[in-house]
Amino acid sequence: MGDRRHDGSPLMSSFRTPLSRAKGLGSAKHGVGHWIGERVSAAALIPLTLWAVYAVIRLAALDYYGAVAWISTPLNMTLMVLTLAFSFWHMHAGLRVVVEDYIHKTLSKAALLLLNFFVCGLAGALAVFSVLKVALGGA
């Protein structure tokens, strides 16, 4: 029985290179776009988060009408919308990776990915809409 390894496979398969053993099992190169998107959103969130900390400190000293006037300025409104949009995009991308990596049942994975997409999209849209409504003078 010298022509087989302890796992039952033929000895000749042990001469295969790691690349040949992994062929067809590794990356399909479709995740690169997601990876770059996560890094771009993370990089964008660094200055936006610093601005948001400044905004919270600034808004804490204002009353309601002062806060409405502050968010109504084009720069503050734009930065707030960008902060919210990038935050929800980044959250969606991060949760997608967690689901894809740790949920192995196909139906559960599909359901959670769909739920992640709709919850992040809906919450992000509501947040952006709320900022725009206040900033543009909606009652």
In a domain, 77, yes or no: yes
Tens-place pLDDT, residues 39-94: 999 999 999 999 999 999 999 999 999 999 999 999 999 999 999 999 999 999 99
In a domain, 73, yes or no: yes
CATH number of residue 49's parent domain = 1.20.1300.10
The total of other beta-carbon atoms located within 10 Å of residue 44's CB is: 17
pLDDT at site 83: 98
In a domain, 120, yes or no: yes
pLDDT at site 6: 59
Paired with 4 in beta bridges are 10
Model confidence at 121, pLDDT cuts 50, 70, 90, reads: very high
In a domain, 11, yes or no: no
Q: Which residues contact 97 (CB under 8 A, 6 or more apart)?
A: 34, 38
In a domain, 128, yes or no: yes
In a domain, 19, yes or no: no
In a domain, 49, yes or no: yes
pLDDT at site 57: 96
Cα(23)–Cα(49) distance, integer angstroms: 42
What predicted TM-score, i.e. pTM, was given to this entire model? 0.76
State how many domains the chain has: 1
Tens-place pLDDT, residues 11-40: 555 666 776 666 655 555 667 888 898 999
In a domain, 83, yes or no: yes
Structural domain harbouring 47? 31-135
Cα(23)–Cα(30) distance, integer angstroms: 16
